[in-house]
Amino acid sequence: MKRRKFSREFKVEAVKLLRERGVSVAQASRDLDVHTNQRRSEEQYG
């Protein structure tokens, strides 16, 4: 399976979704169509 690449802008907006709107990691992952582990690592390093 080929690895997907996300732009910096996408990552920043995803972290904002988690922090500012209080959306859970699981919900944000479903909304953004990404795997939960990707969101967690973005939030941790974002």
Please compute the mean of the pLDDT values over residues 6-28 and round it to a whole number: 87
Q: Are 31 and 17 in contact (CB under 8 A)?
A: yes
- The yes-or-no verdict on residue 41 having pLDDT over 70 is no
Ramachandran assignment for 2, one of left (phi > 0), alpha (psi -120 to 50 degrees), beta (any other):
beta
Please compute the mean of the pLDDT values over residues 8-28 and round it to a whole number: 87
Write out the two tokens for 13: 């907006």
More confident residue, 20 or 25: 20
Give the model's confidence band at 36: pLDDT under 50 very low, under 70 low, under 90 confident, else very high. low
